[in-house]
Amino acid sequence: MRVKKTWLIAGALVATAAAWRVINWEYQIAPNLELVTASALVAAVFLGWRWALGVAVATMAVADIIIGNTSILFFTWSAFALIAVGGLLLKRLKHSPKSLVLGALGAAVASSVFFFVFTNFGVWLTTDMYPKTWAGLMQSYYLGLPFYRAMLLGNLVIVPAYFAVALYAPVLLRQVRKAPAKAEA
């Protein structure tokens, strides 16, 4: 893939994910319904690990410049970075579109679970919202369930959809480009 095309794809992934974070934050559409996971996973498979990390971190940086972040910034940013690197496991499924989309479904679940466990641990550890006890940690997980639900359900739809678009959009574009040539012949 040419460098210019790679930058364009990575930029589009960052722009859509960051724009959605800002819009969702501004209008409170569905807290934790996000596109960062899908963007980072698609970048991991189609662009490589450096681009995947770049997409995840750049998305968070761009959006956080606008909306800000909290004391768990380290946990949210590093969770998405680790999800991006974990997306490299999907690369071996790239030869089979059906397997890749199904694998993306599994990655959506695993990423959502990891993000929930890791970031809620961060909330418990770095804030005074919960007592620093086992019961306090469990309370942070319990009270975080509504946010987890939105992220999980969203990722179950969004992540496979991103992969389907990444797989089939180039095929459709090639067919559209060929169509006028056939009509003229």
Average pLDDT, the chain: 93
* Residues whose CB falls within 8 Å of the CB of residue 62, separated by 6 or more in sequence, listed in order: 14, 18
Whether residue 45 is predicted with pLDDT greater than 80 in this model: the reply is yes
pLDDT in the model for residue 2: 73
Domain residue extents for the chain:
3-171
The model carries a pTM of: 0.91
CATH 1.10.1240 for domain 3-171: no
pLDDT in the model for residue 117: 98
Q: Give pLDDT tens digits for 128-146.
A: 999 999 999 999 999 999 9
Whether residue 176 is predicted with pLDDT greater than 90 in this model: the reply is no
Joined together, the tokens standing for residue 124 give 């418990």
